Amino acid sequence: MEIEKLEKQYRKINNKLNGLKEFGDSIITYIRYKQKEIELKNTINQLLAPLLEANNPEFRQIANENYELLKNLNFQLKTRTLAGSVFGYYSSELQGNINQNGVVYCRTKKSNFPIINLFASFEFTSLYKGEVDCLGNIILRTAKLDGAFIKTIPSTFTGTIQKNGKDILVETNVCDNDFTLGGKIIIYEIVGNPFGKQNDKKDLFFSNKKKLEHILLQYRKEQKYSSKY
């Protein structure tokens, strides 16, 4: 049902985009709808990928090739931007992907609820655990907390994709002190380059991703008017 709802939203946005092209609306409006269309497509593909991995042999084969390319990668990440937080003291969940340029971008989606822990203002995430899928989508969740006498914000990390190519660990290396706004600053975005100088791996990964997205598109077209979809 969730995918069906997202598909309806996608078609609605797509129709609006076609209307904008016809009536020559502002480029800003067009870009806003286009970004929303891309976000919806990526969300739908992310939800459908496990289904096709399980039931579509061609999709599964290409997906496994991408997991092979990702496995055992070790890379450095850094905090790119910070954000103010009304309630939380640290980022407890980040989501993102491996962008077309080969760089990981992950942004905070959830922060902690300090009402549960009176000492949360002095804690920071020392280890994130999560998953990366065959399309490069990533989700990271706090797995371990450490404490400090002064509010600290993680600034550099080491990322490791495990030997199955799916599980990812991100360990905090260095923290910066936060003396502003009473500790109400948290991570907004972290970035890193998992492929490094291995351009052959990166190029093959994204070549495979295009094939996977094509299979996903065909599946979506087949299911579009199905009552069970």
Tens-digit pLDDT profile for the chain (229 aa)? 688 899 999 999 988 888 776 555 578 888 888 999 999 999 999 999 999 999 999 999 999 999 999 999 999 999 998 887 766 778 999 999 999 999 999 999 988 776 555 566 678 899 999 999 999 999 999 999 988 766 678 999 999 999 999 999 999 999 887 655 455 688 999 999 999 999 999 999 999 999 999 999 999 999 864 444 4
Q: Does 57 share its domain with 124?
A: no
Q: Does 87 share its domain with 195?
A: yes
pLDDT of residue 229: 42
Supply the pTM of this predicted model. 0.86
Distance in angstroms (rounded) separating the CA atoms of residues 65 and 16: 37
Query: Between the CA of residue 76 and those of 140, 191, 193, what are the distances in Å?
Result: 15, 8, 7
Say if 208 falls within a structural domain. Answer: no
Say if 30 falls within a structural domain. Answer: yes
Q: Does 36 share its domain with 52?
A: yes
Query: Between the CA of residue 92 and those of 67, 113, 200, what are the distances in Å?
Result: 25, 9, 34
Q: Does 175 share its domain with 144?
A: yes
Say if 229 falls within a structural domain. Answer: no
Say if 94 falls within a structural domain. Answer: yes
pLDDT of residue 182: 54
Q: Does 30 share its domain with 133?
A: no
Say if 131 falls within a structural domain. Answer: yes
pLDDT of residue 119: 62
Range of the domain at 21: 2-67+217-223
User: How many domains does the structure of the chain reveal?
Assistant: 2
Say if 205 falls within a structural domain. Answer: no
Identify the three-state secondary structure at position 89.
coil
Strand 137-147 versus strand 167-177 pairing type:
unpaired
**φ/ψ (deg, to 5) at 71:** -65, 145
Q: Does 94 share its domain with 180?
A: yes
Q: Does 37 share its domain with 99?
A: no
Buried b (16+ CB within 10 A) or exposed e, 66-105: bbebbeebebebebeebeebeebbbbbbbbbbbeeebbbb
Angle at which helix 57-70 crosses helix 199-223, to 10 degrees, equals: 150
Q: Does 43 share its domain with 104?
A: no
In DSSP terms, 82 is beta-bridged to: 187
Q: Does 54 share its domain with 104?
A: no
Q: Does 42 share its domain with 80?
A: no
